[in-house]
Chains A and B, each alone.
Chain A
Amino acid sequence: MKSFFNVFIFMLAFQMEVRVRASDSVSAPENCLGREVPCAYKVSTEKWSFGSGNIKIHAVKGSVLTEIEKAREWKLVGGSLWVENAPSVKVRSTTSEVEGSSGQYWMMIEKDRTIYRNISAKLIVTLKDQNKIEVPKGFEVWVGGVNSESQVEHGMVEPIDIKAHLKLWYSLYPGKQPQFLSEVQDLKDQWADRIEQSGEIYKKVIERKLAAVEDEKRQIEEKKRKQESERLRIREEFRKKVFEN
């Protein structure tokens, strides 16, 4: 009787279908997220969030990130990253890096450009050529590749198009809709004078450019003047040698 029962169990076991579900996340090395660094990771879910102490980082689906140093340094390979709060956390791209104070900012990779959008942080972008760009609150700037003058291409600091930004922001927003709306309203109020601010920034840039052009002109004139006086001195010496001796 017992042997028949054993045979029954044995045959039943063959009828069972065992399926092992493959892991949803893609990472290199395999399953490294939260376990080891460096760890490259692709966001496969609708949104991804990282929190550790006072650090809060979110990324949209399809973004590729590399954690270089544990909760201290990240690299954005593709997609969009929302740094909600990450004091002293460094985020890099291929041609620039940023280290924001506490406050929010965004980093997005679009084609060959990285866009930095500052919401409420003190944001300084350091380019690969060691130049620095300060992005005021409510403004954004794009950074491209190294150009033929060994400088990193970048755009003007411009006000954020809030309407276009809201959709992306809402897709990652962890709270409820009324809370989101109130935050948007707060930002709108804070950014009311951005147009005047951008005018000031453009004015400064133009003034700096004009000053650079003036300086260049002045240097050329100085050089010409020196050349002319040198030419006159040589001529005078030549005259002395030939006619006075």
Chain B
Amino acid sequence: MADSNANSVAFVRTEQVPPSPPPFQTSGPVKWAKDNLFSTPAYTVLTVVAAYFIYLILSGTLPWIFNGVWGTSSLAECREVLDGVSGGCFSVLTERWNQLIFGFKYPPDQYWRPALTFLIFFAAAAPVLFFKLPRQLLIITALFPFVAYWLIWGGTILTPILALAGFVVGYFVYQRFVAGSFAAGFFGGVAAAFVVWTFGGLLIPGSANENALLEAVPSRDLGGFMLNMMLGVVCVSLSVPLGIALALGRQSDMPLIKWVCVIFIEFIRGVPLITLLFVASVMLAYFFPPGTTTDLFLRVVIMITMFSSAYIAEVIRGGLAALPRGQYEAADSLGLDYPQAMRLIILPQALKISIPGIVNIAVGLFKDTVLVSVISMFDLLGMIRGPILASTEWNGVYWELLGFASLLFFVVCYGISQYSQWLERQLATGHR
């Protein structure tokens, strides 16, 4: 047909005219800028102000960053190299790198131990963070606390092995009895673990720490960003189970348990973390049995865990309250008892709803670990404000050090919050 038309009617085109490009004004970057930057006079003013503001920031910081000096050994030397030009003395970061990361008392020849722990940490955290990974990897997660303890604190390997043995025995006892009753399984498991720890503890000789494979490092020698990471990871992982218990306790029908949980949660949430850290540093020691000494790290972990578990409990309570009433009733009508209903029906759903909230608490907690510098622990901020800024070589290098600390925290916290948003999208399975 087309052929016959073309032959018979000379002025009919055989192919379509290609569309002409849209006018320059209404396409491409010009249109975008018109729509998004200069659509009204007020927006134009806003855009100009914002652009000027960005210019101010960049013109101040970019030369400072690009002129930075990385290889000098003191501030005076660095100022000589810069010779009046604006530039950062980033050599404080290279020269004091180990102090910033590990603190100033960790034995330098042992730095590989925390570094290795940090690497294993990723392997241990991966199966928890990404549900699609094979579940067998959770074995690494389960073993990680013991390996990490041994690597960081060193000393005899018998201690972490004994701790692990206690958990394993407790787990088997729990498995054996949980079919009968959850309470029997749970308390039996706890009792079995304590039996193993008590009797195993007698077996470890007091001199085991001497000539150990890894040199023992006391906790007061921990410091730097490592301390922030350790406090963050330990306290978050301890406070999630505690938070679940508190949330369930607060929902409980038993008035005594309910009110104990309510009072605990409201008390902790009502006071600032810094007062709890004061408790850890000057008051908690009074509550331990006379004659025992507990190190500051443990006391701080106890207080921060209590602090974050109260907040996590509130988040989980929100998740429990958000579940439709029908889920509870369905569990009851199936004839499940309370522990079964919670483990099999309620908690899996409630925890799923509360994950973003828990991640928020974790980010906040990780940021709050810098507060330990106030009770004179040498975490990243404590190292910066204490030994480094007070030293004769680097007295006055504020911006490079504070900028570095901010950058570290920003990278970690922003990363976690992006992960949480990704997870929210993954878990969005259409709850109405």
Do A and B bind?
Answer: no
